[in-house]
Amino acid sequence: MTNVAGRTHLLGKEEYHGDWLGTRPPRLTIESGDSVVIETRDASNGKVRDRVSPENYQAIPDELRAMVDAGAELYKNDTKTQGHALTGPIAIEGAEVGDILQIDILEVKPGDWGWTSISPGFGLLAEDFPSTYVQFWDLRAGSHAMLGDKVRVPLEPHLGVMGVAPRTNEPLSTIPPRCVGGNVDIKQLVAGSTLYLPIEVPGGLFSTGDAHAAMGDGEVCGCGIETESTSTLRFILRKDLRLSGPRFEMSAKLTGSWNDNGYVGTTGIGPDLYKASQDAVRDMISILTTDHDLSREEAYCLCSVAVDLKISEIVDAPNWLVSAFLPKGMFVD
């Protein structure tokens, strides 16, 4: 392992790329132990901000509706066309194929507002929600976002996409995660966590984006609280490790440790984990609409940004069990 005392660089969001490519020239080359302050665009590549005033959270113009639907088609079809707007690549001097890149996440700071969308044909409950819906979130409080005056969602910002370049000469979609990272959407990768990625191309070529101010495990409607971000990451080249895929460490409790009011849990049971997940979320939506006076769209968005799906049992054939956990601490007295 090399020393961690290094320089700090800045990499802005003015340039971005929307695919993975093993031969893309780096925007920045650093030494092992250096840190980089990285600006990222939101998942819409700024299109939501361009079309909607953050002060008018109820406005969903036709062009925004069309943009959200087009984005859903991209995700659903998993094409090789442009996906997330990523900042990078960053090359690390001396990085060789087979090395491991250690990424220490020092800070993830979200923007001042964010959004969550429901899109036809996309998400865990695509058939239940045939119309576009966009929920806007005011993040200026810094610690939480409000859903009306009923629900307070604590912010636990993380970067949804963190990856090094795969070994390919052809552009690849940013949408699916791979053994080199990418769209991993691990909500536990908050400040204080460390991610390890196997390097497949010289220099590593790290890129990141798709920041979430908050997200539930599963991201069931397809979005967290999508936002811009400014993050500080430290990069350490490891030649003493060998990994076949991403690995991570956390230095504190699991995210959600702010909640000291207990949880409500729903379950889905059956031989298909996907259908069991659907059943657990549908029951949770029923609780939120019945007991907390949320619309079905608000409830589905809240499930995506704050409810955690967990596999509680996967050994007792023929039925597996998925649980959904709703933190009671979000609800305002």
Last residue of a domain, one of 216, 249, 282: 249
| 166-187 per-position pLDDT tens digit | 999 999 999 999 999 999 999 9
Partners of 16 in the beta sheet? none
Given this model, what pLDDT does residue 107 score? 97
Answer whether residue 74 is part of any domain: yes
Partners of 146 in the beta sheet? 152
Last residue of a domain, one of 196, 218, 249: 249
Rounded Cα gap, residues 174 and 197, in angstroms: 16
Q: State yes or no: pLDDT of 71 exceeds 70.
A: no
Given this model, what pLDDT does residue 57 score? 47
Answer whether residue 305 is part of any domain: yes
Same domain, 271 and 184: no
Answer whether residue 119 is part of any domain: yes
Given this model, what pLDDT does residue 78 score? 47
Q: Could you tell me the CATH number of the domain that includes residue 160? A: 2.60.120.580
| 15-31 per-position pLDDT tens digit | 999 999 999 999 999 99
Same domain, 34 and 91: yes
Share of the chain above pLDDT 90, in %: 77
Same domain, 198 and 285: no
| 151-154/133-138 β-pairing | unpaired
Same domain, 167 and 302: no
Helices 296-306 & 273-291, crossing angle to 10 degrees? Answer: 120
Answer whether residue 255 is part of any domain: no
| 219-274 per-position pLDDT tens digit | 999 999 999 999 999 999 999 999 999 999 998 788 778 899 999 999 999 999 99
Rounded Cα gap, residues 275 and 271, in angstroms: 8
Answer whether residue 132 is part of any domain: yes
Rounded Cα gap, residues 276 and 190, in angstroms: 28
pLDDT band at 150 (very low <50, low <70, confident <90, very high): confident
Q: Over the chain, what is the mean pLDDT?
A: 90
Same domain, 165 and 313: no
Distance set, CA 118 to CA 57, 214, 226, 324 (Å): 15, 16, 12, 19
Same domain, 284 and 242: no
Answer whether residue 256 is part of any domain: no
Given this model, what pLDDT does residue 191 score? 95
Rounded Cα gap, residues 89 and 91, in angstroms: 6
Same domain, 285 and 150: no
Q: Could you tell me the CATH number of the domain that includes residue 290? A: 3.10.28.20
pLDDT band at 148 (very low <50, low <70, confident <90, very high): confident
Same domain, 179 and 273: no
Same domain, 83 and 201: yes
pLDDT band at 79 (very low <50, low <70, confident <90, very high): very low
Same domain, 174 and 113: yes
- Of residues 301 and 5, the one with the higher pLDDT is 301
Same domain, 82 and 152: yes
Taking every pair of Cα atoms in the chain, the longest distance, rounded to a whole number of angstroms, is 58
Given this model, what pLDDT does residue 45 score? 87
Same domain, 206 and 293: no
Last residue of a domain, one of 227, 249, 271: 249
Q: State yes or no: pLDDT of 68 exceeds 80.
A: no
- DSSP letter, residue 330: G
Given this model, what pLDDT does residue 67 score? 64
Contact 231, 40 (CB under 8 A): yes
Tell me the residue range of the domain where 316 lies.
Answer: 263-330
Contact 135, 237 (CB under 8 A): no
Answer whether residue 310 is part of any domain: yes
Answer whether residue 218 is part of any domain: yes
Number of domains in the chain: 2
- Of residues 231 and 113, the one with the higher pLDDT is 231
